[in-house]
A and B are shown apart, each in its own frame.
Chain A
Amino acid sequence: MIDVENLGKTFSVHAKEPGLKGSLKALFRRQVVTKPAVRDVRFHVDEGEIVGLVGANGAGKTTLVKMLAGIIYPTAGDARVLGFRPWERDNRFRRQIALIMGQKAQLWWDLPAEDCFLLLKEIYQIPQDRYRAALDELATLLEVRTLLNIQIRRLSLGERMKMELIAALLHRPRVVYLDEPTIGLDLTAQRAIRDFILRYREEHRPAMIVTSHYMEDIERLCRRILILREGELVFDGSLEKVVRTYAEHKVVTAHLARTENGAPVSSDVERLGQIELCNDVTIRLRVERARVAEVAAELLRRYPVADIAIEEIDIGTIIERIQRARQEVRT
C-alpha cells in the first residue's frame, strides 16, 4: 500500500546573524542554508498494518508524513501510495487517504462539528446512507454523539481531537497518517483515542503510520517501528525485536509492606541485580531477562512484598540506545 524508495527532502532556509547588524545585513544579502530533513528513506507498509514512526524532534517524521500525504514535494527518490505518487495530488488518491495532525486543527473553528462533517461529505462526495452510517459508527465509538451540534471552538481539546478523527475517517480512507494524535491530551483521552484507533484498524484494515513522542502510543498501537535520526532511517523492524536486542534487562519493582525492620540492606539486594532504587518502601532493580523469574521469586521470599511489577525498559530509552550505538559505529 505504501512503497517508499530512497525518498529525500532538503529544505532551503534563510539564516540570519543575530542582532541589529545581522538584520541590516540580511536586508541586502541573505545566507541560504540547506537543511536535509529526510535522507534516502525506504520502507513498505501493508494493508492493516500500523507502523510507528519515531525519532527525536527534527528527525524528519512530520516531513516524511507530509510527503506521503502529498502536501510537500520531495527533492529526491520516489514513493507510491495506493499506486499513486502522493505529490501529484490525483483526486482518486486524495479520496483514499487521511492525515490527522494533533498539533494543527483541521476543522472549521466557528462551525458546529456536524456542519463540518456535512461539508466534508460534499468534498468527498460521500453518499448520504454511507455518510450517516459512518458518522453514527464513529460518533458512537468515540462517545461524542451529544456534542455534534456544538461549535468546534467550544469543545475541550480531547473532544476536538475526537472530532478531528471523525472528520478524517468519514470517507473511509485506506491509508491514514496520524501525526501525534494524542499530543496534549490527558491520560483518559489518550487511552480512548488509542482504543479507538485499534478498533478502527480491526474493522476497516487501513494502513496506518503513527508518529508520536508518547511511547505508550507506540507500544499500544504498533508492532513495527521505523526509527528516524536526523532524517535517516536507522531502524525498521518489529518493536518486540528492538526490545529484545536493545533491552537485555527488565525492570523489577517490589513495593514493600511497612515493617519495623527498616530498609533492606543494599549489599544483599545488589546480588539480585543493578539497583535503581532501594529504600524501606521500594526496591527497583534492573535484571537480566533470563534471571527475572528467579529474582522475582527471591524478592518475594526475602522481603515483605505487597506488590511486584515486571516492566520492559522504556522504549524511549531503547531508541536512545539504538541511536547511540549507530553513532559509535560511525565514529
Chain B
Amino acid sequence: MTPRLFWHVCGVEARKRMSYRVDFWLSSIGGFLAQLGVAYFIVLALFHGSGRPTIGGFTFQGMILYYAAVILLGRVVRGTEADQTIAQDIYEGGLTRYLLYPTSYTVFKYAQNVGTLVPALLQLFLLGAWFPLALGTPEGARITGASIAMGVGASVLASVLYFLLVWPIQAIAFWADNVWSLMLAHRILANLMGGLLVPLTLFPEWAQRALALLPFPLLFAFPVDALLGRLDLHQWLKGIALGLLWCTALIVIGRAVWRRGDRRYAGVGI
C-alpha cells in the first residue's frame, strides 16, 4: 500500500467518525467523565482505606493524573472499534470486496483503524491538555517536550502492537463463526495486564517482573509513563525494542494464521 493511499484511507475513516456529531461529543465527554468518575472513587477509597500518602509510588493526585492519561491514551491506542471489524468482515463476507482490491487487506484495515483514532486524539487534546494544569504535576511526574515526544513514539508503537495482537485473534473467525468471547477475554487481559485497570506498580514484585516480558504493559502503562516523564531514555529505548520484537513475532503469527484461514473463506454462502 502506498503512503498516499494509507493516509487517504485514514482521512476517509476520520471524516466518517466525525460526521456523527452527537456520538462524538457523547463519547468525548460522557464516556471520559464516567470512566474517570469511577476511577476517582476507587482511588479515593483506596487512599482513604489505607491511610497512606502514597500507594505503588503514586500520590492521590498522581494516581488521578495517571488514570486521566491512561483513559485518554487507551482510546488512542485501541481505536474505537478495532476489536471486531476484521472478524465481522470474515463472518459477514465484507472481506470479499477487499480481496478484489490491489492492496493489502490488513494494512488497509490498520489504516482505517488509525483513522478511527483521530476523534480519540482530538479528545486527548481537548480534555487532556488542561488536566496537568488543573491538578498540578505530582511528584515523580515531569511533563516536558522530551517526555511528550517519547509518549507519542510509545503511543504509535502501542497502537500498532494492539492491532497486531487483535489481528490473529480475529482471524480465528475463519474457523469459528463468533470470536466475541475471545476478544472479550483479550480485552480484559490487556486492560488488566496493560495497566489500564490498575497501575502496574500495584502488582506484586514477581508479577511485575513477569509482565515486563509481555507485550501488554507496552499498550497502556508504557506510553503513559513516557508521557508523564516517568521513564528515562534507556527505559524508553528498552520498551521500544521489546515492542518491536513483539510486533515482529505477531506479524509472523498473524500471517501464518491468516494464510491458513484465508483458504477456508467462502464469502458467505455457497
On A, residues with C-beta under 8 Å from B are 11, 13, 35, 37, 58, 60, 62-63, 66, 69-73, 89, 91-92, 94-95, 97-99, 101, 104, 106, 108, 110-111, 115, 118-119, 122-125
Contact = CB atoms under 8 A, between A and B. Distances in A.
Contacts of A98: 100
A122 B4 contact: yes
A71 B8 contact: no
18 contacts: A62-B269, A66-B267, A69-B100, A70-B99, A71-B265, A72-B266, A72-B267, A73-B262, A89-B99, A92-B102, A94-B100, A95-B102, A101-B96, A111-B12, A122-B8, A122-B9, A124-B102, A125-B2
Nearest to A231: B270
B202 to A, nearest CB: 39
A99 B100 contact: yes
Interface in B197-234: none
B95 to A, nearest CB: 8
B260 to A, nearest CB: 11
A116 to B, nearest CB: 9
Given A72-B266, A94-B100, A110 B8 contact: no
Given A69-B100, A72-B265, A99-B100, A119 B8 contact: yes
A94 B102 contact: yes
B12 A63 contact: no
Contacts of A89: 99
Interface in B10-46: 12, 15-16, 19
B185 interface: no
B39 to A, nearest CB: 33
Nearest to A115: B12
Given A122-B4, A122-B5, A125-B2, A110 B16 contact: yes
On chain B, which size bracket covers the interface?
20 to 34
Contacts of A37: 270
Interface in B234-264: 262-263
Given A111-B16, A122-B5, A97 B265 contact: no
B54 interface: no
A125 B5 CA distance: 9
Contacts of A123: 5, 101-103
Given A11-B266, A108-B12, A91 B4 contact: no
A88 B100 CA distance: 11
B93 A108 contact: no
Nearest to B269: A62
Contact of A108 (B16, B102, B262): B16
B97 interface: yes
A4 to B, nearest CB: 18
Nearest to B100: A99
Contact of B263 (A73, A97, A101, A125): A73
Contacts of B97: 106
A66 B268 CA distance: 11
Nearest to B101: A123
A110 B99 CA distance: 21
Contacts of B16: 108, 110-111
B128 to A, nearest CB: 28
A285 B105 CA distance: 57
B173 to A, nearest CB: 15
Given A66-B96, A99-B100, 9 more contacts: A35-B270, A58-B270, A62-B270, A69-B100, A104-B96, A104-B268, A108-B16, A122-B8, A123-B103
